[in-house]
Amino acid sequence: MHYPNGKKNHHIRQPAAANRSQAFGNRGMTLEADINATNTYYRDINKANIHKKPTPVQVVNVHYPRRSAAVITEGYFKQPSTTDYNGVYRGRHIDFEAKETKNKTRFPLANIHGHQIEHMKSITKHGGICFLIIRFSVYKETYYIPAETFFPFWDEQFNNGKKSIPYETIRCKGYRIPFHYQARVDFLAIIDQLYF
């Protein structure tokens, strides 16, 4: 990167992971970055309008300097009460949560919060298309799990059931999401199969 003084800028920190991943077509990006890139692509080609919701912040103190933007000087991250992503595709409401795990053998249910499940049950009841995207980062595999498939596993844990879903179960009951260069997590390909 060149700056106006003609010198290269050596001060911007490049995360090592980002450099490394460039050699592999950015396959090493986080799930969130991949989904954001996918949603941007879907919007650019007018395929769907899906966004990540902003992280909720509890603003406690704001400083208003003269002639410049307000500065939040004290704020706290709040627990989201909904899922992270929603939007519209082919007239249908889309709503999902995305999680990646380094675990090789199972997806721990502790990754999801109870109020998110309540939200997903409500969305499903109102006719939205609701699902989870789960990535096993060690295998670089990303799965689409319909919310209706996920709920029984969630509910069962309170009935002396397991606190996790085995990897094999997710492979079997979920749908492997294809990777494309632009639609990096092409979940609409699965929705097309399941709903249209």
Q: Which residues bind to its own copies, rule: CB under 8 A?
A: 43, 46, 48-49, 51, 53-57, 59, 69-78, 80-82, 86-95, 119, 122-123, 125-128
CB 36 → its own copies: shortest distance, Å? 13
Report the nearest approach of its own copies to the CB of residue 164 (Å).
27
Nearer to its own copies among residue 71 and residue 138 (C-beta): 71
Angle CA 136–138–141, to nearest 5: 45
Strand ranges (E), the chain? 49-52, 57-63, 71-77, 85-89, 92-101, 106-108, 129-136, 141-146, 164-166, 175-176
Is 44 annotated to bind a ligand? Reply is no
Dist CA 145 CA 43 (whole Å): 23
Using the minimum distance from each CB to its own copies, give the nearer residue, 96 or 143: 96
- Phi, psi angle pair for 20, to nearest 5°: -60, -45
List residues bridging with 144 in a β-sheet. Answer: 133, 175
- Is 55 marked as binding a ligand? no
Residue 183 CB neighbours (<10 A): 20
The nearest distance, CB 183 to its own copies, in angstroms, is 16
Shortest Å distance, C-beta 56 to its own copies: 4
Q: What is the DSSP string of 115-154?
A: HHHHHHHHHHHTT-EEEEEEEETTTTEEEEEEHHHHHHHH
Annotated binding-site residues read: 82, 84, 97, 116
Going by the annotation, the residues of the binding site for Mg(2+) are 82, 84, 97, 116
